[in-house]
Amino acid sequence: MDCRFKCFRFTAAALALCAVLLAGCTEVPAVSNPESSVSADSSAVTESSPEQEQDTLPAGSLSDWNLILLNPEPQNKIDEDLPLSFASFDGQKIDERIAAQYSQMVADAEKDGIHLFLRSGYRPVSLQKTYYESNINKYMQQGMTREEAEAKTREYYTEPGHSEHHSGLALDILTEEYQRDVYTLDDRFAQTDGYAWLIKHCTEYGFVLRYPEDKTDITQINYEPWHYRYVGTEHAAYMKEHGLCFEEYITLLQEAGR
Ligand SMILES: [Zn+2]
């Protein structure tokens, strides 16, 4: 399906690793596991060991700027906005350290007739607070209690301090056509050519689909076909090869003592 992975060797060790990591997950969709149809390489099975498989983890430390983890877990948050420098696309700011990669992705998509549009990028903690509170108020005006409104809001809005958009590395990406004709961020974006292009190519530029449909029990965020996260090309390739979401990948790095 994706030529980048034709050389991927699905070893017994990798299978065992995936079985452990995927425990508790729901079904694995073909879209996030394009390598699942790749046949096993029997020679690799005898050559590889779990230790060697660990060694194939890309270089990197949990303290690296591109591996910051922000999610609904109490400890994975920031209290103050990060001291970032920015680049702008479509009126949105992103961390300038990923500007070249995003710009290249947009240019290459353009060559394939896909016009990417950056709907949302960096978001300071204060702005997330405004979005979060106004969404709660909207639900309360519809008759929900504060508790119900907060629960409903948390389905799509991360609590201020916990949103990945604070990192400047999270990008909500649509196509220009989708932005113009549909506008709403919903699952219909997954039916577009733009989404198909992003899923096929985003890892080549260091981005991953951050909230996959089959990982919502781990990410604690609903499926978001528009939300991509920069992690770097090597980490992104590893995650795609092994069908890992970011939380699972971070756990793997922690277990490897990174
Ligand atoms: Zn987003």
> Whose structure tokens read 């992975």?
5
pLDDT tens, position by position, 81-118: 999 999 999 999 999 999 999 999 999 999 999 999 99
Q: What percent of the chain has pLDDT over 90?
A: 72
What is the identity of the amino acid at 234? E
- At 174, the pLDDT band (50, 70, 90 cuts) reads very high
Q: How far is the CA of 59 from the centre of ligand 1 (A)?
A: 27
The answer for residues whose C-beta is within 8 angstroms of residue 159's C-beta and 6 or more apart is 72, 77, 128, 132
Q: What pLDDT, on a 0 to 100 scale, did the predictor assign at position 136?
A: 96
Distance CA 106, CA 100 (A): 10
**Considering only 51-65, 88-102, 198-212, 233-247, which range has the smallest mean pLDDT?**
51-65
Q: Which two tokens stand for residue 88?
A: 């702008």
Overall average pLDDT of the 71-80 stretch: 94
Overall average pLDDT of the 227-254 stretch: 97
Q: How far is the CA of 9 from the centre of ligand 1 (A)?
A: 33
Q: How far is the CA of 257 from the centre of ligand 1 (A)?
A: 29
CA separation, residue 119 to residues 74, 223, 240 (Å)? 27, 17, 24
Q: How far is the CA of 164 from the centre of ligand 1 (A)?
A: 7
Q: How far is the CA of 119 from the centre of ligand 1 (A)?
A: 9
Q: How far is the CA of 162 from the centre of ligand 1 (A)?
A: 12
Q: How far is the CA of 26 from the centre of ligand 1 (A)?
A: 22
Q: How far is the CA of 195 from the centre of ligand 1 (A)?
A: 14
pLDDT tens, position by position, 26-50: 333 333 333 333 333 433 444 444 5
Domain boundaries, the chain: 3-123+163-255
Q: How far is the CA of 156 from the centre of ligand 1 (A)?
A: 9
Q: How far is the CA of 166 from the centre of ligand 1 (A)?
A: 10
Q: How far is the CA of 43 from the centre of ligand 1 (A)?
A: 42
Q: What is the dihedral of CA 179, 183, 188, 193, to 10 degrees?
A: -10
Q: What pLDDT, on a 0 to 100 scale, did the predictor assign at position 1?
A: 40
Average pLDDT, the chain: 84
Q: How far is the CA of 120 from the centre of ligand 1 (A)?
A: 7
CATH of domain 3-123+163-255: 3.30.1380.10
**In the predicted structure, residue 22 carries a pLDDT above the cut 60:** no
Distance CA 44, CA 9 (A): 7
Overall average pLDDT of the 152-166 stretch: 89
DSSP string, the chain: --GGGTT----HHHHHHHHHHTTT-----GGG-GGGGSPP-HHHHHH--HHHHHHTSPS--TTSGGG---SSSTTS--SS-----EEEETTEEEEGGGHHHHHHHHHHHHHTT--EEEEE----HHHHHHHHHHHHHHHHHTT--HHHHHHHHTTTSPPTTT-GGGGT-EEEEEEHHHHHHT-S-SGGGGGSHHHHHHHHHGGGGTEEESS-GGGHHHH-S---TTEEEE--HHHHHHHHHHT--HHHHHHHHHHTT-
Q: How far is the CA of 84 from the centre of ligand 1 (A)?
A: 18
Distance CA 49, CA 249 (A): 19
> Whose structure tokens read 């016009």?
115
Q: How far is the CA of 102 from the centre of ligand 1 (A)?
A: 15
